[in-house]
Amino acid sequence: MRVLVWIAALAVCAHAEHRLHALGVTTKGWVVGAALLPGGVFIRQSSGEWVNAGYRHPLMTALAWLPGEPETLYVAAGDGVIRIDAAGRWRVLTDETVTELQDISAGPGGIIAFGHTAGFRISEDRGQSWREIAAGLPRRYGKAIRIDRTNPDRIVVGTETGFYVSSDRGRAWRLAGAAGFQAMRVEQSPHEARLWLAVTQKGGVFRSTDGGLTFEATPRDPAAGRNLYDIAFDPTDARRIAVCGWGLGVLVSEDGGLTWEARHRGLPRLDVWSVAFDPDRPGRLYASVHEEALYVSEDAGRTWRVEGLPGSIVLKMAFVPVRGGAR
């Protein structure tokens, strides 16, 4: 039955080039001891309806897919890496040695890497086997990770003490920036491979223009002192980037992350977990507002309206290419 729902979800939205996935849980109104409300992977249909595809799951934090293979998703979840194949079959790829995964990234050549509570792991065989790569990091809380899409040897990770970079797939690390700040998320521009952005707890936004080797604090950062949760590069506009956080709503930059403008008119509260630009609709931006709903803007955040998933906490959104659609 779950497989059928999954296939139907894919079929209905197959005409689009990407489909929006949201990882989250419905928490508003839930009381301890009650059965779980919908949670896990939500897929937006072309009709606008959301389908809670597959099992209900209480903790999913990020998802990734290998380049050219978007039909198979790799989800960072509370109980490991879950591989979800095109038929909607779930398989946990990790074991008892990792828990509460925080982030996941996939790169060329079948490389997948994730952050967990006590480090980072990498697989070079599509998740069949894993190698711990946190040795050499001063603290190992694996909050954020990205594999360089142009150079799979280079990995940037974020821990409780800042961001670190490795040029040899995690065998050696050096501090890249945001020293002393807890990392929250790091992303690489889909347009310019040397441009990276990283966000933190209290430290604001950090920017790299040398491929993640060094990150510098952004001047006049309106997010300093706040907690930022997510970053979205606009696939349709090389200079547009959005970040979101708690008490901040959504900040949008139109100059590649040098300056930021608050754009939250129409949002019911300023506590936002995740943002995502629609690659198929220029200017369309989604924001997940804490226990309110998903919101959508057609003008890059200047105005907002309710989109769906009422009462949810959506920790991460991603537009996944549809098989046969855009890559």
Partner 1 sequence: MRRAAAAVLALCLAAQSALAQGYEERRRRLIEKTARVADDRLGYGHIAARLWLREGVPAAERRLRELLEGDISGDMFWMFPMTAISYLDRGQLSDATRALIQRSWKRYYPFRGDTENHWLLYYTSMYLMAQKWPELGGEAWFNGKSSKENMEEARRWIEGWVRLTTTRGQGEYDCTHYIGVYLLPLSYLAAWAEDPRIRKQASMMIEWVTADFAAESLDGIYVGAHARTDDRQVVEKAAGVSSDFAWLLFGQGRETPPYGGYAVFYAMADGPEPPEILRRIATDRSRPYTHFEKKRTRNRWRFHDELHGPVYKTTYMTKDYAVSSDQGGVLQPVQQHSWDVTWRLDHPEGRHNTLFSLHPYSGMTELEAYFTFSPDFGTEAVYRSKVTYDSPDKLLGGSPYERIAQSEDAVVALYDIPAGTRFPHINGFFSKDLEEFEEDSSGWILCRGGRAWIAYRPLAPYVWKPIEGGGRRLFSPYLKNGTVVQAASADEFPTLEAFRKAIRALKLEFRLEPKPRVTFRTLRGRTLEFAYGETPRIDGRPLDYAGWPAFGGPFLNAKAGEPRLVMTHGGVRRILDFRTLTVLEEKIPAPKQAGRTQGD
Residue 99 interacting with partner 1 (CB under 8 A): yes
Output the smallest distance, CB 276 to partner 1, in A: 18
Is the sign of the CA dihedral 117, 106, 182, 222 positive or negative? negative
Among 71, 79, 153, 298, binds partner 1 (CB under 8 A): 79
Tell me, letter by letter, the H, E, C secondary structure of 182-202. CEEEEEECCCCCCCEEEEEEC
Q: Which of residues 265-284 bind partner 1 (CB under 8 A)?
A: 271
CA 74 to chain centre: 12
Q: Are the C-beta atoms of 177 and 205 separated by less than 8 Å? A: no
Residue 68 interacting with partner 1 (CB under 8 A): no
Among 45, 201, 288, 312, binds partner 1 (CB under 8 A): 201
Q: Which of residues 244-263 bind partner 1 (CB under 8 A)?
A: 246-247
Residue 55 interacting with partner 1 (CB under 8 A): yes
Task: Measure the CA angle with vertex 98, ends 115 and 33; round to 5°.
Answer: 105
Residue 220 interacting with partner 1 (CB under 8 A): no
Q: Which of residues 284-303 bind partner 1 (CB under 8 A)?
A: 290
Among the candidate windows 6-14, 30-38, 64-72, 187-195, which touches partner 1 by CB under 8 A? 30-38
Residue 102 interacting with partner 1 (CB under 8 A): yes
Specify the long-range contacts of residues 47-52, CB closer than 8 Å, at least 24 apart: 47/12, 48/307, 48/308, 49/308, 50/22, 50/308, 50/309, 51/5, 51/8, 51/9
What dihedral do alpha carbons 298, 302, 307, 311 form, nearest 10°?
160
Residue 264 interacting with partner 1 (CB under 8 A): no
Place of tokens 């059928």: 4
Q: Are the C-beta atoms of 51 and 5 separated by less than 8 Å? A: yes
Among 11, 29, 46, 91, binds partner 1 (CB under 8 A): 91
Among the candidate windows 45-53, 93-101, 105-113, 150-158, which touches partner 1 by CB under 8 A? 93-101
Distance from first CA to last CA of the chain, Å, rounded? 29
Among the candidate windows 96-104, 187-195, 258-266, 317-325, which touches partner 1 by CB under 8 A? 96-104
Output the smallest distance, CB 317 to partner 1, in A: 16
Among 164, 181, 229, 304, binds partner 1 (CB under 8 A): 229
Among 17, 69, 100, 132, binds partner 1 (CB under 8 A): 100
Residue 59 interacting with partner 1 (CB under 8 A): yes
Q: Are the C-beta atoms of 240 and 192 separated by less than 8 Å? A: no
Closest to partner 1 by CB, 101 or 197: 101
Tell me how far CA of residue 242 lies from CA of 17, 117, 245, 256, 258, in angstroms. 22, 27, 10, 10, 12
Output the smallest distance, CB 96 to partner 1, in A: 4
Output the smallest distance, CB 200 to partner 1, in A: 11
Closest to partner 1 by CB, 91 or 174: 91
Residue 180 interacting with partner 1 (CB under 8 A): no
Residue 118 interacting with partner 1 (CB under 8 A): yes
| Residues lying near partner 1 in the complex (CB under 8 A) | 32, 34-36, 55-59, 78-79, 83, 89-92, 95-96, 99-100, 102, 117-118, 139, 141, 160, 182, 201, 227, 229, 246-247, 271, 290, 313
